[in-house]
Amino acid sequence: MKKLRSVIRVGLKSNFGLAVLRHRIFKEKKDRWLVPLIGVAFLGLAPTLYGYLALMKTFYRGLLPLGQQHLILTFGILAGQIFVLIFGLYYVMSAFYFSKDLDILIPLPLNPFQVMFSKFAVILVNEYLTIAFFVLPVLVYYGILSKAGLPYWLDALVIYLMLPVIPLAIVSLLVIGMMRAVNLSRKKDALIIVGSLVLIMLGMGLQYVSRRTVSASPDPQAMLRFLTNPDGLVQRFGSAFPPSIWASKALAGGFSARGFTNLFLFIGVSLLIFCGILVISEKLFYRGLIGIGEVSGKKKAISKEGISRKLSSGRRPIGAIFAREWRIMTRTPIFLLNGVLVVVIVPMIFVIMAETGSGRGDNAFLLRIMTSAKPIYVILAAACFLTFCSCLNGTSSSTFSREGGQFWMSKVIPVTPKEQVIAKFLHSYFIALLGIVVASGVAIFVIHLKAVVFAGAFLISLTAAVALTVVGMIIDLARPLLDWTNPQKAIKQNLNVLLSMLADIGILTVLGFFSIFLIKRGIGGGGLFAALLGILILLSYASFHFLLKFANKRYVEIEV
């Protein structure tokens, strides 16, 4: 037990680096500017939070007469658990199999389950932070709206702490099984990518099936049952992931027999499944882990002709750096999954939501709205969608951080910071473009956008992507995270990626308000389009110009 406690403590300390952050902020006084910046970033989220709370209030009032107001809790908890189920994969895989400290932990006299437990704890804390954005407002606001007493708040605390356990344990089981199989092969990296995609698809497929079942129109009698039974709607929507039903009932029930039964059911199943994982990990964890980092070379001497063929006849430095960025990104599974594949997966999630969440009838409804509304509104909405899909990946905002311990090379090679940054921009923008293209496919084939509308949206998103890519790069250049040992830290756990996403949302929100302002002033569709495009071009130009100047300064300042 003592060993377990100590390995968990070390794991948490080294992953969250509070000591390092404290040292940087209070001793070295380096990252002080981050504190107000994060404060401002969170303030920027205030309008979104306000909208979220207003929506909840409306739902709450609508459901109150039916006595089914706790459906809101089901939605919040379900969203959190599904999120962990789909995206927990990245965390689990990199923490269990790709953190460099495993090389230190494996030779220690620890049982595999103890090592896994410590990694699980790290991911759990990560998940608390991640799901806080959308689960905490639900729990807190529901408590306020329902004027809940102490039992609710205690239950809410326990449920929040236990919430990621079941989905994370399921993901861990799948990943441990997958990695055991992957480790038997020589093509480990390729299998990891394929396996992860299969798991993500499986998760989304399950979602698709369960949501279709839920959204299929029930007969009127069944509908009546859902509405009259106090837990009818909770059961119906929560069926996608039953633990969310138990958690909602436990919260709604408080300290009653019903509340306790469901709370114990939720906690009991969570603990049971977690213990199951520990038992399995004792047998399978190390078998999948030991040797996963080994790469076997071809061990075949290359001929003189082979060398001559493979050596380029002199690429320009920008081309060489672009090729390097591309190769490293696509050959590092964590980078590939978080950078390139995210831009493919995010639009797919929209497809599933469009196909199931609203049902086919609603799709037709959406289409009607889209075609009846003023074209400029549709262009703006579609542009926002394309931009969102292209820029919500961490490629640009981790472009310097991803170099990690190899940044020394970028400092010693005889290539100007300007050229290096241009190559990095082209690489990040290329991936953003990939996102725009995939999202365009969704816009054309699922939402059936008109050609002219699509062209307008495409043009705006192409320009917006330049500005947002550059903003991400500026943020990463300001404070690159170079001392990572686990590639996950460079992209998934990099604060720059979060800051950049907040900045992107902030910029898009400001542009949204600006559009509303212009519309209220009576500006026409064409005028608004031109104004937005003009602003985006200016913003892109100015930010790119700043990035190049900033790079000249930062490449000298960053010491490695």
Partner 1 sequence: MIELRHVSKSYNKGKVKAVDDLDLVIQPGEIFGFLGPNGAGKTTTIKLIVGLLKPDSGAVTINGLDNQKEALRCKAMTTYVPDYPAVYERLTGLEYLNFIGDVYGVAKKDRIERIEKWLEIFDLSQAVSSPIQSYSHGMRQKIVLMAALLPAPRVMVWDEPMVGLDPRASFHLKEIMREHCDQGKTLFFSTHIMEVAEKLCDRIGIINKGKLIACGSMDELKKLNHEQQESLENIFLELTEK
Q: Which residues bind partner 1 (CB under 8 A)?
A: 28, 294-302, 304, 306-308, 310-317, 319-321, 323-324, 327-328, 331-332, 405-406, 408-409, 411-416, 556-557, 559-560
Beta carbon nearer to partner 1, 531 or 560: 560
* Cβ distance to partner 1 smaller for residue 297 or 522: 297
Rounding to the nearest 10 degrees, give the CA dihedral for residues 282, 286, 289, 290: 180
Give the shortest CB-23-to-partner 1 separation in angstroms: 11
Q: Which token pair is 14?
A: 């080294």
HEC assignment per residue over 332-351: CHHHHHHHHHHHHHHHHHHH
Shorter beta-carbon distance to partner 1: residue 323 or 478: 323
Minimum Å gap between C-beta 96 and partner 1 is: 19
Minimum CB separation of residue 288 from partner 1 in Å reads 19
Q: Report, in Å, the least distance between residue 329 CB and partner 1.
A: 9
- Residue of 169, 129, 117, 161 lying closest to 8 (CA atoms): 117
For partner 1, give the closer residue by CB, 111 or 416.
Answer: 416
Tell the smallest beta-carbon distance from residue 475 to partner 1 (Å): 23
400: closest CA among 505, 494, 502?
Answer: 494
Task: List CB contacts of 275: < 8 A, sequence separation 6 or more.
Answer: none
Closest CA to 471 of 494, 503, 444, 429: 503
CB 25 within 8 A of CB 32: yes
484: left (phi over 0), alpha (psi -120 to 50) or beta: beta
Is 300 or 520 the residue whose CB approaches partner 1 more closely?
300
Q: Which is nearer to partner 1, 362 or 483 (CB)?
A: 483
3-class SS letters over 59-102: HHHHHHHHCCCCHHHHHHHHHHHHHHHHHHHHHHHHHHHHCCCH
Nearer to partner 1 by C-beta: 194 or 328? 328
Query: 324 or 450, CB closer to partner 1?
Result: 324
Phi, psi (deg, nearest 5) at residue 67: 70, 20
The CA distance from 6 to 110, in Å, is: 11
Q: Which is nearer to partner 1, 283 or 316 (CB)?
A: 316
- Is the Cα torsion angle 301, 305, 306, 310 positive or negative in sign? positive
3-state secondary structure of 450: coil
The answer to whether 288 and 180 have CB atoms below 8 angstroms apart is: yes
CB of 487 to partner 1, least distance (A): 10
Q: Give min distance, CB of 416 to partner 1, in A.
A: 6
C-alpha span between 126 and 89 (Å, rounded): 13
Shortest distance, CB of residue 11 to partner 1, whole angstroms?
Answer: 24
- Kindly state the tokens that stand for 29: 């006084």
Least distance in Å: CB of 180 to partner 1?
21
Nearer Cβ to partner 1 (190/510): 190
Smallest gap from residue 405 Cβ to partner 1 (A): 4
Nearer to partner 1, 216 or 307 (CB): 307
CB of 476 to partner 1, least distance (A): 18
Q: Which of 402, 522, 523, 530 is nearest to 459 (CA)?
A: 530
Handedness of CA 164, 169, 174, 176 (dihedral sign): positive
